[in-house]
């Protein structure tokens, strides 16, 4: 009895000091490093409170007011609120907030309108597409025939004429718009025109740009798409999780596909956190955030170009950019590693028509959502560009790396993160 109570009330540091110590180290890393991974962000404490809450104890298979378990009277209201807020935020007819991840959200949309053996047309993975758009080892390639479009070799922007001609040639059931590494605005109306031309469904995967869409800093794909899928953890600044939006017409089929089709019980802590995320993203201050994300990316891009770096497509319209490192005789893999040592976190990324292998690459992807959340603005983007350039210009110089690491920790300290913790 006493043991039971002690266990139930004991802190993480008492129960598992190893995991506690590593979590503390990770907090320190997040505070002292400059986070430029384009798909990452820092969530508000309120979002974390949901995720660390007693909601984790509850099963709630099914949908609000049609749950398969007792005791759902409060959690189903949480889910209802999340659904209503998602619909309102993006102007959608229907929302499903249960998908555990962006990949699962895409699976749900695909399964709702495609049968095994059908054809889908999506962006090439080595030119910006996501694994769930047709990687050879992904379920998409096992179940569907995947055809891929890319970017124009000269402009490095989506080749909409190629999208149209591939659509006419292969007559896919689904066309996917959206990317993980594409620095330019996406023309959803143009995608929809191609889809309508051949009677295909347009699924827009806005995982990366959802925060920009919510904040009015990117066109909204909703009016043009049959389905819109998204994660919540990227520019939208919510928990790790996802959702699918669609018109009323597909609501029932989509819901059935998510549960019981591909998932069991929903993750209620994540759903509560999504509700909080949607609330925050609908406030006027989030518009300021989204605008600043775009301004910061533009400032960082300009500062890198000013230091002689080539950017894929010549710049950025959104929250991210791709640096072409070939002129510096550095691979993406090597650059990622030395920047990490210098306190700057980025990820290597293929550039269009990359001569290097996917695990090596010739590019780096830099993004502004996380540093913008910390409160950094254009002057800090200049400091970061200077630091990145210093490190990449002297990749062998341990002195430079350690000096930059100190400067980045100071910069981090000037923009405190989670001060109420520890």
**Residue 23 CB, nearest approach to ligand PLP (Å):** 21
End-to-end, the C-alpha distance of the chain in Å comes to 31
**Residue 236 CB, nearest approach to ligand PLP (Å):** 11
Nearer to ligand PLP, 242 or 387 (CB): 242
**Residue 131 CB, nearest approach to ligand PLP (Å):** 7
Select from 114, 163, 179, 350 the one that contacts ligand PLP (CB under 6 A): 179
For 91, the 3-state DSSP assignment is: coil
**Residue 147 CB, nearest approach to ligand PLP (Å):** 17
Stretch that binds ligand PLP, among 55-63, 81-89, 102-110, 324-332 (CB under 6 A): 102-110
180 contributes a contact to ligand PLP by CB under 6 A? yes
Stretch that binds ligand PLP, among 95-103, 146-154, 288-296, 318-326 (CB under 6 A): 95-103
Contact partners, residue 19, CB within 8 Å, separation at least 6: 12
Query: Comparing C-alpha atoms, which of 410, 406, 374, 375 is closest to residue 390?
Result: 406
Burial class (CB in 10 A: 0-12, 13-18, 19+), 185: middle
128 contributes a contact to ligand PLP by CB under 6 A? no
Hey, which residues does 201 pair with through a beta bridge?
174
Nearer to ligand PLP, 367 or 412 (CB): 367
Active site residue 20: no
Draw the binding track, 193-222, toward ligand PLP (x: CB under 6 A; -: no contact).
Answer: ------------x-xx--------------
For 322, the 3-state DSSP assignment is: strand
Nearer to ligand PLP, 242 or 339 (CB): 242
149 contributes a contact to ligand PLP by CB under 6 A? no
124 contributes a contact to ligand PLP by CB under 6 A? no
Choice among 76, 159, 205, 389 that is catalytic: 205
Active site residue 231: yes
Select from 62, 150, 178, 269 the one that contacts ligand PLP (CB under 6 A): 178
**Residue 405 CB, nearest approach to ligand PLP (Å):** 28
Share in percent of the chain as helix, strand, coil (round to 5):
50, 15, 35
Active site residue 295: no
How is residue 358 annotated by DSSP?
T
Cβ atoms of 321 and 297 within 8 Å: the answer is: yes
Find out whether the peptide bond into 143 is cis, omega within 30 degrees of 0: no
DSSP line for 209-245: THHHHHTTSS--SGGG-SEEEEESSSTT---S-EEEE
Stretch that binds ligand PLP, among 29-37, 173-181, 213-221, 324-332 (CB under 6 A): 173-181
Active site residue 190: no
101 contributes a contact to ligand PLP by CB under 6 A? yes
319 contributes a contact to ligand PLP by CB under 6 A? no
How is residue 420 annotated by DSSP?
T
Give the per-residue SS3 of 149-198. ECECCCCCCECHHHHHHHHHHHCCCEEEECCCCCCCCCCHHHHHHHHHHH
Choice among 103, 104, 229, 231 that is catalytic: 231
Cα–Cα distance between 346 and 71 in angstroms, integer?
A: 44
Neighbour tally for 392: CB within 10 Å:
21
Active site residue 205: yes
Nearer to ligand PLP, 30 or 101 (CB): 101
Nearer to ligand PLP, 231 or 331 (CB): 231
H or E element that contains 14 = helix 12-15
Active site residue 29: no
Active-site annotation, residues: 59, 61, 205, 231, 234, 240
- Residues in contact with ligand PLP by the rule CB under 6 A: 39, 101-103, 106, 130, 132, 178-180, 205, 207-208, 231, 242
């Amino acid at each position: 009895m006493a043991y039971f109570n002690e266990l139930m009330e004991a802190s993480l540091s008492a129960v598992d000091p190893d995991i506690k110590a590593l979590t503390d180290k990770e907090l320190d890393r997040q505070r002292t490093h400059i986070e430029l991974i384009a798909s990452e962000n820092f969530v508000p404490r309120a979002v974390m409170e949901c995720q660390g809450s007693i909601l984790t104890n509850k099963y709630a298979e099914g949908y609000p007011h049609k749950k398969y378990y007792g005791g759902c009277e409060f959690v189903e209201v949480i889910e209802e609120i999340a659904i209503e807020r998602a619909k309102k935020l993006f102007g959608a007819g229907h929302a499903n907030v249960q998908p555990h991840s962006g990949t699962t959200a895409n699976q749900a949309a695909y399964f709702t309108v495609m049968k095994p053996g059908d054809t889908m047309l999506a962006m090439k993975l080595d030119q910006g597409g996501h694994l769930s758009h047709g990687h050879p080892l992904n379920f998409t390639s096992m179940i569907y025939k995947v055809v891929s479009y890319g970017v124009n070799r000269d402009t490095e922007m989506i080749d909409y004429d190629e999208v149209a001609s591939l659509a006419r040639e292969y007559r896919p059931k689904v066309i996917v718009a959206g990317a993980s590494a594409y620095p330019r605005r996406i023309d959803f109306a143009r995608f929809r025109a191609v889809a309508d031309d051949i009677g295909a469904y347009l699924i827009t995967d806005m995982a990366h740009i959802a925060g920009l869409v919510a904040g009015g800093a990117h066109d909204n794909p909703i009016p043009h798409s049959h389905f819109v899928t998204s994660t919540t953890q990227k520019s939208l600044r919510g928990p790790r999780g996802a959702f699918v939006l669609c018109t009323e017409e597909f609501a029932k089929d989509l819901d059935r596909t998510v549960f019981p089709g591909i998932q069991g019980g929903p993750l209620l802590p994540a759903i509560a956190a999504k509700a909080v995320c949607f609330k925050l993203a609908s406030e006027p201050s989030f518009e300021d955030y989204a605008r600043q994300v775009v301004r910061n990316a533009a400032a960082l891009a300009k500062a890198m170009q000013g230091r002689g770096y080539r950017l894929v497509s010549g710049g950025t319209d959104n929250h991210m950019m791709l640096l072409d490192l070939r002129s510096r005789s550095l691979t993406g893999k090597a650059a990622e590693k030395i920047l990490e040592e210098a306190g700057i976190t980025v990820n290597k990324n293929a550039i269009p028509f990359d001569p290097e292998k996917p695990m090596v690459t010739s590019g780096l992807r830099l993004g502004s959502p996380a540093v913008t959340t910390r409160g950094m603005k254009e002057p800090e983007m200049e400091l970061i560009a200077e630091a990145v350039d210093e490190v990449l210009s002297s990749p062998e110089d341990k002195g430079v790396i350690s000096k930059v690491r100190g400067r980045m920790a100071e910069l981090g300290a000037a923009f405190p993160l989670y001060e109420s913790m520890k």
